[in-house]
Structure 1
Amino acid sequence: MNNLNPMNRGALTWQAFKNTLLENPDKILQFQYAEGQYVDASYHITEIKQAPIVSVDCGGVMNGWTEIIVQLWEPSVAETDRAMKVSKALSIVNLVEKSLPLNPLGVVKIEFGNSKFDTRQMYPSDFISETDSFTVNLSADFTQCKAITRGQSCGTTPTGEECCTPANNAVADVKQVQMLEVVGAENQSCTPGGGC
């Protein structure tokens, strides 16, 4: 079994995330979930989840990894006198880790949504440290075919065709291009009806 989901290589580990926070304890902790869009300063950290993931991909390979998911919640009425400092976030982390030891190699995700932004899990992508604030920029999660990432093809369909190999005729190539435009994948293809 692979110890780390290939699509998460390079993703931030829980230990690296904590270490970055520890370097900025007195700053206000902000999260930017979209360009110019920030989680309201009065947000709460409602829970921290540890999710061990075990999967079998379309190539028949078993994968395993752990995700550490920090859930943020905006109150319906903003609390104008309240802003989360990094030190407060770390005190919540310490409280959680007294009951639930978190895997230091777990992949960090931040879960957030509000009335204008559907709830989703996002990766911390970069940090901006300013005089009084520390901002965590978030980037969207994505899907990909692990078999293609390994340079292999996935399992075969009942007709014997492999679902993620390039098509051999012009009609199939046109369908691939249409599918790529819809999905937005680069350098990856799945034939329509192929099971990907």
Structure 2
Amino acid sequence: MNAIDKTVSTDINLGDLLAVLAVAPDAPLVFSYEGRPVRPGYHVTEVKAGQFSALDCGANPEAWSEIFVQLWDIDEDGRTHMPAGKFSAIIRKVADHVRLEPTAKLTFEVSDRERPMALYCAAAPRLVAGTFEVFLFARPASCKPRDRWLAEEQAKSACCGSTASASTCCT
């Protein structure tokens, strides 16, 4: 999974991420980006929340909440990957001081010691062999009017495709 198909969202929000991680709090949490896992000593260096207002390229007003989780991809002190419960505890501690909307868009900012920080969205975590895997995908720019149009077209074809042509949803 290296590319994002903008017709199908891979984003997970913070509430959904924490709910899945609660199933196995002792399981190591391994984020992967650019085809490789983060190093075992990674840090959550910052969690921030924002409310955004914008005007898209179709002159439509946009507003959304977004939570940024900054990961520093390093390997220090012979550590193992952070347990899911520790990650959740960090988020709860932040939530004691910063309003974190559970349904907000979730963005990961990842950097190592050499490369600049890059933005990623996250797919739903998978518990594989006792380890949570969370794949991060580069967050590309997009055209929101086009994305809305594609979603509408997908809904129409799902509802009115050849197998559903007799359906009452086709008008």
Report the counterpart of residue 138 of structure 1 in structure 2: 136
Report the counterpart of residue 30 of structure 2 in structure 1: 30
2:135 maps to a residue whose letter is N
Deviation string 1:19-50 (CA, Å, 9 cap, x unpaired) is: 11111201011111122x11111111111111
**Structure 2 residue 81 is matched with structure 1 residue 90:** no
SS at 1:99 equivalent? coil
**Identical counterparts, % of pairs:** 25
Select the residue among 109, 112, 130 that pairs with 1:111.
109
- For 1:144 and 1:51, locate their aligned partners in 2 and report how far apart those are by CA, in whole Å: 20
CA RMSD of aligned residues (A): 2.3
- For 1:146 and 1:131, locate their aligned partners in 2 and report how far apart those are by CA, in whole Å: 38
Q: TM-score, normalised by structure 2?
A: 0.74
Note the 1:1-196 alignment, pairs <5 A: 11-35=11-35, 37-75=36-74, 78-115=76-113, 117-151=115-149
- For 1:8 and 1:90, locate their aligned partners in 2 and report how far apart those are by CA, in whole Å: 27
Does the 8 Å contact 1:7/1:146 carry over to 2? no
1:114 maps to a residue whose letter is D
Stretches of structure 2 that go unaligned for 5 or more consecutive residues are: 1-5, 150-171
2:18 maps to a residue whose letter is K
- For 1:8 and 1:93, locate their aligned partners in 2 and report how far apart those are by CA, in whole Å: 27
1:82 is displaced (CA, Å) by 4.2
Stretches of structure 1 that go unaligned for 5 or more consecutive residues are: 1-5, 152-196
Does the 8 Å contact 1:126/1:138 carry over to 2? no
Which structure has the higher relative contact order (CA within 8 Å, separation 6+)?
2
Structure 1 pair 119/21, CA: closer, same or farther in 2 (3 Å)? same
Does the 8 Å contact 1:54/1:62 carry over to 2? yes
Deviation string 1:98-130 (CA, Å, 9 cap, x unpaired) is: 111211110111110124654211111243312
Larger Rg belongs to: 1
1:13 maps to a residue whose letter is N
Q: TM-score, normalised by structure 1?
A: 0.66
Structure 1 pair 7/146, CA: closer, same or farther in 2 (3 Å)? farther
Structure 1 pair 54/45, CA: closer, same or farther in 2 (3 Å)? same
- For 1:97 and 1:60, locate their aligned partners in 2 and report how far apart those are by CA, in whole Å: 34
Deviation string 1:35-92 (CA, Å, 9 cap, x unpaired) is: 2x111111111111112111101221100111111111134x6221343111111111
How many corresponding residue pairs?
Answer: 144
